[in-house]
Amino acid sequence: MGTFFLIIIYITFISLGLPDSLLGSAWPIMHRDLGVELSSAGIVSMIITSGTIVSSILSSKVIRRFGTGKVTFVSVTMTAGALFGFSLLQSFIWLCILAIPLGLGAGAVDSSLNNFVALHYKAKHMSWLHCFWGVGATSSPIIMSFFIANNNDWQKGYFSISIIQFLVVLLLIFTLPMWKKMENNNIAESAEDIKKSENVNIFKLPGAKLVLVSFLCYCATESTVGLWGSSYLVNHKGISPDVAARWLALFFGGITVGRLISGFVAMKLKSNILIRIGQSICIIGVTMLMLPLATYFSMVGLILIGLGCAPIFPSMLHDTPNRFGKDISQSIMGVQMAFAYIGSTIMPPLLGFIALKSGIGVLPIFLLVFIVIMLICSEKINIIMKAKKVV
């Protein structure tokens, strides 16, 4: 039953990945049809990720009250409904309104499923879990690019993705009894965890602040590439919108393939080594994107950034119970996801503001700053964990 249940979680993570790359791939066309500036994507991104921050922070209490299965079902239903609404909208105001349930639908289920896998499965499964997120994040720009190439019809792209989401909702309806059974098996453990987690000041734990900054920097990097990568290729490199959407899919494809590979590598290497390797590859990819080389190298740079991102996030997540203890991991996981979404909320709009002043060509420098900060924090965390004899 554990294996089958893991497959259900994998499929659910595909649905989490589907919306994450849609806005960035469609925005070069969407902003013209909606009559807003290119930088307005930052507003929508901020609304979406603000919702995920709220739901992540509240995830521990919400999951205790309703259970992981029900939270997952409601969350995916909300995202499916929001994406369907995107396919019908004709104004930027409605886009902003529908971004609210899209964001709220992601946070709680994301932190709960990450914590469940971190507690009950090996590191390889965390990498493969986020590999399935990559399947969704890679598929949606490809689907969107098909409709953009055919009469710039981004609405049909959103409609198609919403149908896939609703199919996942149907799957979750039929598996709700299974979720309940799995949760009942962990009731005693959860009751014990609640008492301790409510009395812990997360920010005072050794290395916690560095961990939170690392999560912020990682998601700032990933979400900024996802939102602005296509616009960078169109406006700075002179690539057509449909081709740029396909190239952006290569970034998410790099994440997907990289996480599939890192799942096997995780059987041999520790998480801190995987994180360090990923950060180094990201720096190489951003450098290729930055240099005034042929446009082909921009494609290679995006793939390398994706490959570099691949092991970082799942490795940091899986290390959470090991770093801070299983009894408070759910509470810490929620805060970690909240900081991750803060990075997603603030940094892409910040780049949009900077791009208004200096042009979208500043993207690689912007990314490099956050990758370097993340690398420094990670190395300091390793020193602290080594002193605690965790690493």
Q: List, for residues 254-302, the tens digit of each pLDDT value.
A: 888 898 898 899 888 888 899 999 999 999 999 998 888 888 888 889 9
Q: Which of 100, 108, 102 is nearest to 65 (CA)?
A: 108
Q: Which of 175, 183, 187 is nearest to 12 (CA)?
A: 175
Rounded to an integer, what distance in angstroms lies between the CA atom of residue 206 and that of residue 210?
A: 9
Q: Which of 62, 111, 17 is nearest to 320 (CA)?
A: 111
Helices (H) and strands (E) in the chain, counts: 16, 0
Tell me what the mean pLDDT of segment 188-208 comes to.
62
Which range has highest mean pLDDT (302-311, 314-323, 349-358)? 302-311
Contact 381, 210 (CB under 8 A): yes
Rounded to an integer, what distance in angstroms lies between the CA atom of residue 368 and that of residue 353?
A: 18
Rounded to an integer, what distance in angstroms lies between the CA atom of residue 6 and that of residue 116?
A: 10
What CATH code would you report for 11-387?
1.20.1250.20
Domain boundaries, the chain: 11-387
What does pLDDT average to over the chain?
84
188 falls in which pLDDT band (50, 70, 90)? very low
User: Rounded to two decimals, what is the model's pTM?
Assistant: 0.75
**Residues 333-355: pLDDT tens digits?**
778 888 888 888 788 889 988 98
Rounded to an integer, what distance in angstroms lies between the CA atom of residue 179 and that of residue 176?
A: 5
Dig out the tokens for 238 from the structure.
């002179």
